[in-house]
Amino acid sequence: MRSHLCNRCGSCVGLSEGAVVFEHRTANYRPGIVKPVNDLLAERMWNACAGHSFNFPEFNQKIYGDNSNFNQFTGVYKNIYIGNTTDEIVRQNSASGGILSQILIWLLENNRIDGAVVLGMSKTEPWLTQPFIATSKKEILEAAQSKYIISSVNELLPETEKFNGRLAYVGLPGQVQSIRKLQNMDDPTVKNIHYIFGPFYGNTLHFSSVKSFLKSYKLKDYTQITRLYFRYGEWPGNMRVELKSGRVIELPKFHANYLIPFHIVKNSLLCTDLSNEFTDISGGDAWAPVYEERGKGFSMVISRSASGQKIIDEMIADGTLELNPISEDEAITMHSHGYDLKKRGTFIRMRFRKWAGLKNPDFGYTITGFTFSRYLMEVVINLMFLVLGTSLSRFLIEQLPPSFVGGIFEKTRTIWKKSTYKIKRKKLNE
Ligand SMILES: Cc1cc2nc3c(=O)[nH]c(=O)nc-3n(C[C@H](O)[C@H](O)[C@H](O)COP(=O)(O)OP(=O)(O)OC[C@H]3O[C@@H](n4cnc5c(N)ncnc54)[C@H](O)[C@@H]3O)c2cc1C
């Protein structure tokens, strides 16, 4: 925990038979041991934990075999597409093109699954996330859209074990990796999971981001929140807070991104998996001016396994999805900043951590050979996270209106992206 290796996936909590629980969900959100754990259970939890180790090459081989395309940035894939669902209601209610929710709905309506593990917001504490098993289109749509605060989907393992039927599962890369480890162990908690899907993953934030956002509007009590959205409305959507008083606060997603350097969960910076490499199908935003100008919502979709490809083919054939294939190069270019952060930045950060005597996760592979300028850039990034993550910086930023800070953040980010473009793109497609 002290080395930031825990991604809060929730597997240890889910497997622990009540011995481990998440504590302080609106603060550090850490698993704490509340009852004695015997050696057998401890070993099961440790083996399921992807925070300390997950062997990418080994699991690539086990899950996909040799028959697919592989690229060190995208992982194993069969095809890469840009597109959206043709159901406008699903598209409007989702984060990007509505692909992930639509796949779950389609599987349910075609009797391929009986339920889907998804992440909604808590009914009793609507400011926190809550995983659950959705068994209807309505419930799947209730859980649509990205949640940018900590989620621990695998807390639900006792329920996935008890569930009477076939399940699809949606999770972030760390959560998916743990499910893959459990499948590899033939653990009974995952026996009902037939399909695994997931969003791309840049980073996630501590709950302090929500508190800080409210403080900027001179609001102190987060328990006044009745609904919390991170991607509300037309793509790319808004962060939106609805309060008991009837007041509604909204900020465009690109402006709300200002919260990232102040509240990022440090483990996000130790994750090397941007595109959710161990899913059957994964989906991200189609970040490119040509799509962003059109609004409405466009996704990048990566089919990885034979069963994932079969679903995509059938859904295109019956008109449920509109997808256009794109090349590996186009896909990498579209997310080059994200891949740079994950596939280069993480390995450089891990080197810095090694020098500082901190533990690193073991991913079974490493990428080396970065330029001096890329190392220098990483020093600047790390310094920025260090300084902006302090209580003083957070306090100072809360004194300014978020619409103003968000606008400055977006402009600064564009300048930073342009000025580091060459360093980041060097050899990216090789
Ligand atoms: C924390 C986070 C970071 C992301 N970072 C990037 C990025 O850097 N670049 C990029 O291109 N895309 C990123 N995405 C993915 C993007 O926001 C969309 O989720 C993706 O494009 C799929 O869109 P969709 O319309 O198909 O999904 P939807 O139809 O809206 O379905 C989303 C599904 O994901 C599940 N879900 C949402 N949030 C979480 C969560 N926190 N943990 C587990 N499950 C969740 C929901 O239950 C739902 O089933 C991120 C998503 C998340 C949650």
The answer to whether the beta carbons of residues 225 and 243 sit under 8 Å apart is: yes
Centre of ligand 1 from the C-alpha of residue 179, in Å: 18
Q: How many CB atoms lie within 10 A of CB 42?
A: 17
* Residue 143 phi, psi dihedral angles, 5° rounding: -95, 0
Mean pLDDT of the chain: 95
Task: Please give the Cα distance from 74 to 60 (Å, whole number).
Answer: 12
* pLDDT tens-digit map of 104-152: 999 999 999 999 999 999 999 999 999 999 999 999 999 999 999 999 9
Handedness of CA 43, 40, 169, 210 (dihedral sign): negative
Centre of ligand 1 from the C-alpha of residue 284, in Å: 7
Q: Which among 325, 323, 327, 331 has a CA at the least distance from the CA of 102?
A: 323
With respect to residue 2, please indicate whether it lies within any of the assigned structural domains: no
Write the residue with the smallest CA distance to atom 48 of ligand 1. 144
Strands (E) located in 122-192: 129-134, 167-170
- The structural domain count of the chain equals 1
Write the residue with the smallest CA distance to atom 7 of ligand 1. 202
Task: Please give the Cα distance from 213 to 256 (Å, whole number).
Answer: 9
The answer to whether the beta carbons of residues 110 and 341 sit under 8 Å apart is: no
* Residue 414 phi, psi dihedral angles, 5° rounding: -65, -45
Helix (H, G, I), strand (E, B) or coil at 162: helix
The answer to whether the beta carbons of residues 334 and 299 sit under 8 Å apart is: no
Vertex 195, ends 160 and 66: CA angle to 5°?
135
With respect to residue 87, please indicate whether it lies within any of the assigned structural domains: yes
Centre of ligand 1 from the C-alpha of residue 145, in Å: 6
The answer to whether the beta carbons of residues 196 and 100 sit under 8 Å apart is: no
Query: CA 166 → CA 104, 109, 144, 172, 309, distances in Å?
Result: 12, 13, 20, 20, 19
Task: Please give the Cα distance from 123 to 101 (Å, whole number).
Answer: 20
Q: 62-66, 160-164, 195-199 — which is least confidently predicted?
A: 62-66
With respect to residue 328, please indicate whether it lies within any of the assigned structural domains: yes
**Helix-, strand-, coil-residue percentages of the chain, each rounded to 5:** 45, 20, 35
Centre of ligand 1 from the C-alpha of residue 372, in Å: 34
User: Is 289's pLDDT higher than 90?
Assistant: no
User: Ligand 1 site: residues with CB under 6 angstroms?
Assistant: 94-101, 118-119, 143-148, 151, 153, 170-172, 199-202, 204, 283-285, 287, 299, 338
Write the residue with the smallest CA distance to atom 21 of ligand 1. 284
Task: Please give the Cα distance from 297 to 84 (Å, whole number).
Answer: 7
> What tokens does 240 get?
């939106």
With respect to residue 339, please indicate whether it lies within any of the assigned structural domains: yes
* pLDDT tens-digit map of 356-399: 999 999 999 999 999 899 999 999 999 999 999 999 999 999 99
pTM above 0.75, yes or no: yes
* Atom number in ligand 1 closest to CA 231: 17
Q: How many residues does the chain have?
A: 430
Dihedral, 154, 159, 164, 167 alpha carbons, nearest 10? -20
How many helices (H) and strands (E) would you count in the chain? Answer: 20, 15
User: Is 420's pLDDT higher than 80?
Assistant: no
Domain of residue 281 covers 56-430
Centre of ligand 1 from the C-alpha of residue 95, in Å: 7
Q: Which among 86, 103, 83 has a CA at the least distance from the CA of 286?
A: 83
pLDDT for 306: 96
As a whole number, mean pLDDT of residues 25-50 equals 96
Q: Which helix (H) or strand (E) holds 291?
A: helix 289-292
With respect to residue 381, please indicate whether it lies within any of the assigned structural domains: yes
> What tokens does 295 get?
């609004």
With respect to residue 139, please indicate whether it lies within any of the assigned structural domains: yes
* Atom number in ligand 1 closest to CA 120: 47
Task: Please give the Cα distance from 298 to 156 (Å, whole number).
Answer: 30
Provide the pairing of β-strand 167-170 with 129-134.
Answer: unpaired
With respect to residue 282, please indicate whether it lies within any of the assigned structural domains: yes
* pLDDT tens-digit map of 180-239: 999 999 999 999 999 999 999 999 999 999 999 999 999 999 999 999 999 999 999 999
pLDDT for 249: 97
How many whole angstroms from its chain centre is CA 189?
Answer: 22
Helix (H, G, I), strand (E, B) or coil at 56: helix
* pLDDT tens-digit map of 264-276: 999 999 999 999 9
Task: Please give the Cα distance from 347 to 345 (Å, whole number).
Answer: 6
> What tokens does 107 get?
């599987």
With respect to residue 169, please indicate whether it lies within any of the assigned structural domains: yes
pLDDT for 1: 79
Q: Which residues, 6 or more positions from 259, have their beta carbon under 8 angstroms from its beta carbon?
A: 205, 209, 212, 213
